[in-house]
Amino acid sequence: MGKVSCVDKLRMQTLREQGLRAKAIIRAYPHKQWKLSTVQKICRRVDASGSAVGRQAGSGQPKSARTAQNIQRVDELICSQEGQSGTHQSTRQIAVELNISAASVRRIAKEDLHLSSFRRVPAQIITDAVRRKRLERATALLRRLKVRDTKRVFFTDEKNFYLNPPVNNQNNHVWSSGKKADVNSSRLLVTREKFAKHIMVSAGICFGGKGRLHFVDEKAKVDAQYYVN
């Protein structure tokens, strides 16, 4: 007989809790062809722990990756040093250095160190010169506009929308039973035009609400006169 399924173990547990012995449990399910030694072992486990599927303390393969030493090393490598962004290492780099799997590194970070993973967000670098220029322009704008004037200001912005849809290479995978060389190249390539067609859309908001969408002509030159019109 092969390995006893979890459902069968629960059946044995139910009958054992009703007071049946191993031979009586086998007679209750003759088509299962359970071995007497297997049923007796499960009955002893139910008597000792109250469950036929629970593992005993200390049973199973010992932890080889999530050791105290590896947990400490992951704690040192996975987070950036205070005030020094980018000094951390990725889970793959840590796995190579500690000679463990990347899954073990992620498990240590989540279950042992109670860390959470966040996707990095791109941001613009603001130099001291840009800070001073922004401060000067903001100060001049505050002097120019009163509170009542801000209700008459219309803020606009433009955005280019490309006809070619964006592709996320991280999630766009091709699965195959063979090697990569055996896969048709048409399945692996993501084609796109060098100068993809796009359309510019302008929109604005103000204190009283939002404006209409304006679709800029494809070959239009957006100068001051076009912008005002």
What are 24-74's pLDDT values in tens digits? Answer: 999 888 888 888 999 998 899 888 888 887 665 556 555 678 888 888 888
Give me the chain's average pLDDT, please: 81
How large a percentage of the chain has pLDDT more than 90? 12
Among 156-165, 168-177, 180-189, the least confident range:
168-177
What are the tokens at 48? 């000792």
What are the tokens at 110? 């989540």
Contacts of 35 (CB under 8 A, 6+ apart): 1
Give me the pLDDT at residue 56, please. 59
Average of per-residue pLDDT across 104-127: 81
Give me the pLDDT at residue 201, please. 92
Give me the pLDDT at residue 165, please. 66
Cα–Cα nearest to 79, from 122, 108, 59 = 108
Give me the pLDDT at residue 222, please. 80
pLDDT over 50 at 1, yes or no: no
Helices 91-98 and 68-77: crossing angle, nearest 10°? 140
pLDDT over 80 at 131, yes or no: yes
Confidence of residue 14 (pLDDT cuts 50, 70, 90): confident
Which stretches of 175-215 are DSSP H helices? 185-188
CB 191 within 8 A of CB 225: no
